[in-house]
Chains A and B, each alone.
Chain A
Amino acid sequence: MSNEQKNGISRRTLIKGAGAAAGLAAASSIVPSRFAYGAAHMKKTPVKIGILLPYSGTYAMLGNSITDAMKLRIAGAGDMLGGRPVEYVAIDSEMSVPKAPQNTSKLVDKDQVDFLVGPVHSGIAAAMAKIVGGREKPIMIVPNAGSNAVTGSLCAPNIFRTSFSNWQPAYPGGTQMAKDGHKTCVTIAWKYAAGRQMMDAGAEAFTKAGGQVIKDIEVPFPDVEFQAFLSEIAALKPDAVFAFFSGGGATKFLKDYAAAGLKSIPLYGPGFLTEGVEQAAGEAAEGVRTTLHYSADLDNPSNLAFRDAFEKATGRVANVFAVQGYDAGSLIVQAMAAVQGDTGATADIIKAMENANFIDSPRGPWKMSKAHNPIQNIYLREVLNGAQDYIGIAAEALEDPATGCKMV
């Protein structure tokens, strides 16, 4: 039996916290009159959080990490949101874009969720944003999908992101490569939207810092047969390689790269290249330098506490996806506290979310940009003895350019 199984998401978990009464009493004394209207009735009904994440297939690990960490954060707040209990409605996205409009409609129209958390896949994010964008309810929180468009051309007042834009973790990687003294590089990534956006950002930074991209290799998605490309890289002899793959593909790429004897050419990339695959890739990941908005060994008390709590609750080691889920939970907890549980006060919730405080996020302090994307530190990490080793800050308080966003 896997750990996921034991801690498996339950479709409808209605948590009635023991502290409900206490919370209510404490809250009522400071409730402004606007919120007090119908409050007695509202306090009993749960706040609904809809979740659309993959729980099957290649990206199930991401879905589980995000969900568990978000629930952990909300459980840490006594399983109460602004004095109301919480109900989760989770749907397996199956990573299917064709099913996405239907799944979103189910959460939004049928279950009438107050918050919609998801997804992992950027195509699904677009489908969700299309449905949610113009509405009063729900507030959508993207805990992973990195497409620049989500907080760019698709940005909307009720769409927030607690993860990253593809541009963010990739851009400082390019700078770092040049800083480390490399003059030429080859970029290699899957030929799909996320890969393209990350490679473009990395190449942009590297060129700006005086480097030269001698070849841009695009691997058909989700092909994992890298041998032909590795021979090409060996023949081109670049100073460094800048790569983006994730999950099973990343593991295989790292192993093949090492097995081909290419470790003499330093490997860089957005942190997903080595995130959650350090164990599986083993020796092959050693020395790979990546940039990401999180590093497992960040030495701040909230990170240590979070990692400890996550492992205790799930039996698994926390990763960046869990952190993104945790902060999504944090965002909801703070916003609901600010409006005293009044899920109808959309404008106030949005305002509270825009000003939410992430001083004690496991990834270090960050805040929401005008486009509703994190302004966050990007860290430089290196894999050392099968774990991420924090080297330093690659870019401080980095803000996505939010190209095409009308709110900026």
Chain B
Amino acid sequence: MYRTSLALNLTLIAAIVVLAVLPPFLGIYYGNLVTRMMILGIFAMSLDLLIGFTGLVSFGHAAFFGLSGYMLAILMMDVDSASIYWVLPACLAATALASAVIGWFSVRTSGIYFIMITLAFAQMLFYFFNENTALGGSDGMFIFNKPTLAIGSWNPIDLEDHHTFYYVVLVSLALSYLGLRRLLNAPFGMVIQGVRTNENRTRALGFATRRYKLVSFVIAGTLAGFAGFLEAMHSSIISPAHLGWHESGNAMMTVILGGMGTLHGPVIGAFAFGFLHDWLQEVTEHTTLYMGIFVIAVVLFLPRGIAGLPADVMRLLRRRAPDEEDPGA
């Protein structure tokens, strides 16, 4: 069961409101940065469905993120404009298919072996794009024009506009979050969470756990593809590095440090990393050194990630005042 406290729900609503009123104050650069953090937030949430809720630690999740971007670049290669109504479904279908194939093989393994086999498939895809000169090879590809939402001559939303695109991403983030929440509270969600807690028991209850894991893998892969689609539109460029293991590793880090199994934690993680990196660039030459120290500090001192920080603080405060809270101890 995925339940959130009233306090959290109110905070999330407040966060959305803040994000919605923010753009005029951000300027182009920070607007871009927040847009990208929201996209990476969707990407990290999709991975959280696997790591935090299904118990499948995928080390190749960026493959779907990048694949979708490549799909977009390929579809837009020879055309001046294309309608999003068929481009987006095509990209999602491609990632769904890829995640179904990779997932079908991968869910046969578990634990560290699952980590490694997902890495293996992602690396194969990486090399496929890295060495394919028709697709730009190691330099990657451009997306010269974004697909349009126009129906005939009527264009309700101009995606080329920075602000508009920001809101499109914000809405996407909110919908992805709500969608995943619903999914987790549906019978399907109960089963995958059962798989995570105790796969044998779930299987004994008569559920074909492998099939559930596969479906979860496909949903996560497709959502990652959606994030990749947004990212490719946003940055207008896609490269093999987008699906390399560094990106998969970063996503994993975002999920765990943000707080896995919380859905909102990975989004917080994406924002935390984005802004930390941005700030470190300004103040120090040794960005990676401090990033490393930050990672280690969170691991050591925030066992439930950044999202668990309020609860940790509360507990710490209670421990300070044992007389009032827990007289029996």
- Chain A interface (Cβ < 8 Å from any Cβ of B): 8-11, 55-56, 91-92, 94, 96-98, 100-102, 105-106, 109-110, 122-123, 126-127, 130, 147, 149, 191-194, 196, 218, 220-221
Contacts and interface: CB of A to CB of B under 8 A. Distances in A.
B28 A109 contact: yes
Interface stretch (B84-92, B138-146, B260-268): B138-146
B251 to A, nearest CB: 11
A328 B15 CA distance: 45
Contacts of A98: 235, 239, 241-242, 247
A55 B289 CA distance: 13
Contacts, number: 91
A130 B138 contact: no
Interface stretch (B30-38, B93-101, B189-197): B30-38
Nearest to B274: A102
A193 B278 CA distance: 30
B237 A127 contact: yes
Contacts of B139: 122-123, 126, 147, 149, 193
Nearest to B277: A99
A94 B285 CA distance: 12
B283 interface: yes
Interface size class of B (residues with CB under 8 A): 20 to 34
Interface string B221-247: 000000000000011110101100011
A97 B237 contact: yes
Given A102-B33, A106-B281, A123 B27 contact: no
In this complex, the member of B33, B137, B246 whose beta carbon has the largest number of chain A beta carbons within 10 angstroms is B137
A55 B130 contact: no
A107 to B, nearest CB: 9
B239 A97 contact: yes
Given A101-B236, A109-B32, A192-B130, A11 B285 contact: yes
Given A94-B288, A98-B247, A192-B137, 19 more contacts: A11-B281, A11-B283, A55-B285, A56-B287, A96-B241, A98-B241, A101-B237, A106-B29, A106-B281, A109-B29, A110-B30, A123-B139, A123-B239, A126-B142, A191-B131, A192-B130, A193-B138, A220-B127, A220-B131
Contacts of A94: 288
A100 B36 CA distance: 12
26 contacts: A8-B285, A10-B285, A11-B283, A96-B246, A97-B140, A97-B237, A97-B241, A101-B236, A105-B32, A109-B27, A109-B29, A110-B27, A110-B30, A122-B138, A127-B235, A127-B237, A147-B139, A149-B139, A191-B130, A192-B130, A192-B137, A193-B133, A193-B136, A193-B137, A193-B138, A196-B133
B278 A123 contact: no
Interface in B276-295: 278, 281-285, 287-288
Nearest to A97: B239
A180 B241 CA distance: 40
Contacts of A56: 287-288
A317 to B, nearest CB: 23
A96 B33 CA distance: 16
A126 B140 contact: yes
A106 B237 contact: no
B285 A126 contact: no
Given A8-B285, A196-B137, A221 B241 contact: no
A147 B139 CA distance: 9
A130 B232 CA distance: 13
In this complex, the member of A97, A101, A193, A194 whose beta carbon has the largest number of chain B beta carbons within 10 angstroms is A97
A330 B130 CA distance: 35
A105 B29 contact: yes
In this complex, the member of B32, B130, B133, B139 whose beta carbon has the largest number of chain A beta carbons within 10 angstroms is B139
A342 B283 CA distance: 29
A277 to B, nearest CB: 21
Nearest to A8: B285
Contacts of B282: 11
A97 B285 CA distance: 20
B247 to A, nearest CB: 6
Nearest to B285: A8
Contacts of A122: 138-139
A126 B238 CA distance: 10
Contacts of B288: 56, 94
